[in-house]
Amino acid sequence: MGVGSPDGADALTIAGRPMRSRLIVGTGGFPSLQVLADALAASGSELATVALRRIDPAAEGSLTDVLQQAGVSLLPNTAGCHTARDAVLTARLAREAFDTDWIKLEVIGDQDTLLPDAAELLLAAEELVADGFVVLPYTTDDPVLARRLEDIGCAAVMPLGSPIGSGMGIRNPYNIALVREAVAIPVVLDAGVGTASDAALAMELGCDGVMSASAIARAQDPVAMATAMRLAVQSGRLAVGAGRIPRRTYASPSTPDEGLAEFG
Amino acid sequence: MIRVNGQAGGANAGESVSALLARLRVAADSRGVAVAVDGEVVPRSAWDSFILSETASVEVLGAMQGG
């Protein structure tokens, strides 16, 4: 089966690891661990992000246990880091805590927009790749920066559709398509997804996967939205493989004129 | 004064990282916990042997929902 086949043959492979699901779920913002567990099951995702924060001895329940029971692998992130130094240290701590080389690298350059700091991002990515990490950088929708990240040795790029948590969808679809053309590594749309159609559009633009956090976690019904995202990612992928018709200005009849009756 | 997760006085100079973690009820084999002292990772394998100095700044981190 080819592109878009839902039987698992069309896997998303990052750093040699195939995943049947092309949806990555962010665990932030869920009202409870139970809702997170139910949403993960509904999403079909095999990979979910976690952050590293000061432990709270009073906290109830274990996030890592929930993810383990869900059969989902952890993708630690460096959320909240503003410098390459902090991001690299956080990645090394995450490797120690979660026993994984994978890191979703975020280096934030602006507190209001949470846009990435490209210069610090490149520095951190270079150091982490050299240290043996599988680096998945959260980046702008800049195809040149994406290529630089690929050249450094990143395993994928995660361009934003719009600012984190904004739910504004994909503000510059042409750039996302250009990012897809610019690199050979997987492109996973990250940030900005607000609803299922945004995820489908990302896939139709050629993205290899979609990450969704707030759109699922903060939906009125997170489990239903997780299902919607799963189906949207599959739909968008199937549509790419199916090959859409070209856009045209004027109508093109779907019913032939040939054999049309003449009524005098 | 030792600082643990930003709080002064959370540990005693001369005690190991393991001893501190035991008081924080973090099991020695617990997955999902990492420790940094003065901006450097203290690997799990060194928790027993790493002795905190009088001015150590300790971060004890774990998994949190995010991203």
Q: Is residue A162 part of a domain?
A: yes
- What pLDDT does residue A83 have? 97
**Residues of A involved in catalysis:** 104
The residue in chain A having the minimum alpha-carbon distance to the alpha carbon of residue B58 is A54
Question: Residue A122 in contact with residue A129, Cβ under 8 Å?
Answer: no
Listed by number, the residues of chain B in 8-67 with a beta carbon closer than 8 Å to a beta carbon of chain A are 24-26, 31-36, 39-41, 43-44, 59-67
Cβ contact, residue pair B64, A99, below 8 Å: no
Number of CB atoms found within 10 A of residue A54's CB: 13
Overall domain count for chain A: 1
Cβ A175 vs Cβ A143: under 8 Å:
yes
CATH number (domain holding residue A208):
3.20.20.70
Pairing verdict, β A47-54 and A73-76: parallel
CB atoms within 10 A of CB B10: 17
Q: At what angle do helices A143-152 and A118-130 cross, to 10 degrees?
A: 20
Tokens of A40: 């993960």
Give the residue among A48, A114, A49 at the shortest CA–CA distance from A77.
A49
Tokens of B18: 């393991």
Shortest alpha-carbon distance between residue A201 and chain B (Å): 21
Distance from CA of B66 to the nearest CA of A (A): 4
Residue A106 carries which side chain, given as an amino acid letter?
E
CB atoms within 10 A of CB A226: 27
- pLDDT the model gives residue A2: 53
CA–CA separation, B67 vs B56, rounded Å? 30
Tell me which residue has tokens 């969704």.
A212
Inform me whether the C-beta atom of residue B6 falls under 8 Å from chain A C-beta atoms: yes
Could you tell me if residue A122 is inside a domain? yes
pLDDT at A176: 97
Torsion sign (Cα): A217, A222, A227, A228: negative
In this prediction, what percent of chain B has a pLDDT beyond 70?
A: 96
What is the identity of the amino acid at B16? S
Q: pLDDT digit string (tens) for B22-45?
A: 888 877 667 789 999 999 999 999
Burial B39-57 (b: 16+ CB within 10 A, else e): eebbebeebeebebeeebb
For residue B66, pLDDT over 90 is answered with no
Q: What is the pLDDT of residues A202-257, one digit of tens each?
A: 999 999 999 999 999 999 999 999 999 999 999 999 999 999 999 999 998 888 88
**Are A51 and B59 a contacting pair at CB < 8 A?**
no
Minimal C-alpha gap between A252 and chain B (Å): 45
Identify which of A74, A23, A4 has the alpha carbon closest to the alpha carbon of residue A189.
Answer: A23
B40, amino acid identity: E
Task: Give domain status of residue A254, yes or no.
Answer: no
Distance CA A174, CA A177 (A): 5
* pLDDT (0 to 100) of residue A213: 93
User: Residues in chain A with pLDDT < 50?
Assistant: 1, 7-8
Examine residue A262 and state whether it is found in any structural domain, yes or no: no
- Residue A226 lies inside a defined structural domain of this protein: yes
Predicted pLDDT of residue A1: 43
- Domain housing A237: 18-53+62-242
* Domain assignment of residue A98, yes or no: yes
The CATH code that applies to domain B3-62 is 3.10.20.30
Write out the two tokens for B53.
């100095």
Q: At what angle do helices A33-43 and A222-242 cross, to 10 degrees?
A: 20
